[in-house]
Amino acid sequence: MAKSKIKKKPRYFLIDYENVHKAGLNGIEELSKSDTVFIFYSANADSLSFEAMRLLSASKAQIEYIKVGTQGRNALDFQLSSYIGYLLGRHEGARCYIVSNDKGYANVQIFWFSQGERVKLVPSIGDRKTVSTKRSDVERVVEELDLTDEEKEKVTDLVWARLKDGSPHLSHIKVGINNDLVQRFGGEKTKLIFNVIRPLIK
């Protein structure tokens, strides 16, 4: 019997081209044919450099261009933000990446995180995987704890899950880790664990 392939959850990259230009495309060569890149542009940024065109033509990802026809301040931002809601509504479990240096999009990211959706603000496509802490770092500090091997593995799993897929706010990550640990180990043991892992939450 042939093994059934696990269907990848869709990933969407919404680029504020007016803000990032070609720099936002860095890393596009790593995408697969199951990924989709939406380039939002306006009259203020309606041309591509030869290098940008080369990157786009070499990518396996699907590329779509969305021109913001209406004028006015933040018109592109509003349309890009609303398009995320459209994508998340149509594709369950989708991951959306807003590619921009505009920190105003952080509010969009925070809202969708509170709804249980995965939206991340990054300066370029290649920065989507950036996590300052590695799982091996978590394993290293957890090894110092006076816990059974099974407990150490559980702590590592809980902490890494929050660090890897956590909130855009560090305070949310800390609260989430604390709550997970309290539920599993109780208050007193959580204090000892949290003191050891606290330096990793950055």
Q: What integer pLDDT is reported at residue 113 of this predicted model?
A: 81
Q: What integer pLDDT is reported at residue 81 of this predicted model?
A: 95
Q: What integer pLDDT is reported at residue 51 of this predicted model?
A: 86
- Compute the chain's Rg from CA coordinates: 20
The residues spanned by each domain of the chain are: 11-129, 135-200
- Which fold would CATH assign to domain 11-129? Rossmann fold (3.40.50)
- pTM score, two decimals? 0.67
Q: What integer pLDDT is reported at residue 167 of this predicted model?
A: 59
Comparing CA positions, the residue from 47, 114, 58 lying closest to residue 37 is 58
DSSP state of 28: G
Q: What integer pLDDT is reported at residue 202 of this predicted model?
A: 64
> What is the Cα–Cα distance from 46 to 114, expressed in whole angstroms?
34
